[in-house]
Structure 1
Amino acid sequence: MSKNSPIADVVMHPVRLRIIQQLGTRQVTTADLRAAMPDVPQATLYRHVAALVEADILAVVEERRVRGAIERTFTLGGRMAHVDQAELREMSEQELRQSFLTFIAHLGETFDRASTSDADGDYRDFLGFGEVQLHVTTADLSEIQARLSELLAPYLSATGPEHRTVTFATALIPEPPRRA
């Protein structure tokens, strides 16, 4: 996979989505990734990290020698892990369905990990999900997205030990046009 590959081809894999989620807005080492994803074989993890680096989804920000090996530290790269509208339009119906199902599966896996590994039992204090139907124009939706980005911007970086990381997922699914 090269930097010219569509982002969806690169990130729409469960292991790669988990790697991207581990980074969020922070920096992680390969050792951090191995510790956070013990169910993924090391060779598989490294192969997916390499694909993400090659596609500029991850960037290497530091390399240091640890016991004779090179330990790399990663952050999200220049392309970021987001499928934009142009790429969504280029997908076939099958690719679009597969990408959405991968997203939903990853969200379910994130939920499962949170609900089964919360030692102090307070994850429900942070948990919420729901669905609401909005009645918008294209301009309205554009404004909502811009204001939501502005609202969330201060919370995209961890600033102290009292902060807890939560996953905030969105899905915009337009209803099909109504037939007369």
Structure 2
Amino acid sequence: MATSDLLLHPVRMRVVQAMLDGRPSTTTQLRQRLPEIAPATMYRHVAVLADAGVLEVLEEKRVRGIMERTYRLRRDRVELGEADRAAMTPDDHRNAFTAFTGGLLADFGQYLEREPADPAADGVTYQQAALWLTDQEHEELLAELRAAVTARAGGEPGDGRTRRVVSLVAMPAGER
């Protein structure tokens, strides 16, 4: 398992988010997906993730005299363990949430800059719901959502398929 210090850095979080679909990528391909990240910064953080075992090298080949590596995300290495989450301070959580929402904002900005961006036709949604749940009901809901997402996570690019990012935030709000 990776540590919170490793995964919650804003640039490394963006790289991990970009690779969540399971598609192997070179650093050049990651730079195309994340053009707001400077090339030297991208290479440095990809190397940190690879050294930590979060990214694994699938292939190495020479391209114009430079070694190009193709990486795959090791999904088993990107979830913070229960002990890591428990050890985080409120400020650590605030920083992690800020990095998470910053990544969402960057992704949404990139989407809106594409031509033609049509949120209604593309099924873009952002919404909140307030639910009164016991702790057990909350755990069941999260398990159901994880199962629904996991069941669709292995899809490959192809006809009629669009890469979509699904994000979830769950937190207590208000009184018990």
Same fold by TM-score, threshold 0.5 exceeded?
yes
Percent identity reads 29
Listed as ranges, the matches of 1:145-156 within 5 Å are: 145-156=142-153
| One-letter identity of the residue aligned with 1:51 | V
Asked whether the equivalents of residues 114 and 123 of structure 1 are also in contact (C-alpha less than 8 Å), the reply is: no
Residues 1:106 and 2:125 aligned together: no
> Partners of 1:57 and 1:40 in 2: how far apart?
19
In the alignment, the residues of structure 1 paired with residue 60 and residue 91 of structure 2 have an alpha-carbon distance, to the nearest angstrom, of 40
1:169 aligns with 2:167: yes
Unpaired runs of 5+ residues, structure 2, are none
Alignment pair present for 1:21 and 2:25 = no
Task: Describe the SS at the equivalent of 2:128.
Answer: coil
CA distance in 2 between partners of 1:73 and 1:29 (Å):
4
Distance 1:13 1:115, change over 3 A: same
2:94 aligns with 97
**Could you tell me how far apart the structure 2 residues matched to 1:56 and 1:123 are?**
36
Counterparts in 2 of 1:54-65, with a 5 A limit? 54-65=51-62
CA RMSD of aligned residues (A): 2.0
Summarize the alignment of residues 1-180 of structure 1 with structure 2, pairs less than 5 Å apart.
6=3, 8-24=4-20, 25-77=22-74, 79-117=76-114, 119-124=115-120, 125-159=122-156, 160-175=158-173, 177-178=175-176
TM-score (norm 1): 0.85
Deviation at 1:114, TM superposition (A): 0.8
Distance in 2, Cα, partners of 1:84 & 1:133: 27
Instruction: Quickly say closer, same or farther: Cα 1:39–1:111, change in 2 above 3 A.
Output: closer
Q: Using the TM superposition, give the Cα deviation of residue 41 of structure 1 relative to its aligned residue in structure 2, in angstroms.
A: 2.2
Measured in 2, the distance between the counterparts of 1:53 and 1:136 equals: 40
Measured in 2, the distance between the counterparts of 1:79 and 1:121 equals: 34
Q: 1:84 to 1:72 in 2, by over 3 A?
A: same
CA spacing shift, 1:38–1:129, aligned 2, 3 Å: closer
Aligned length: 173
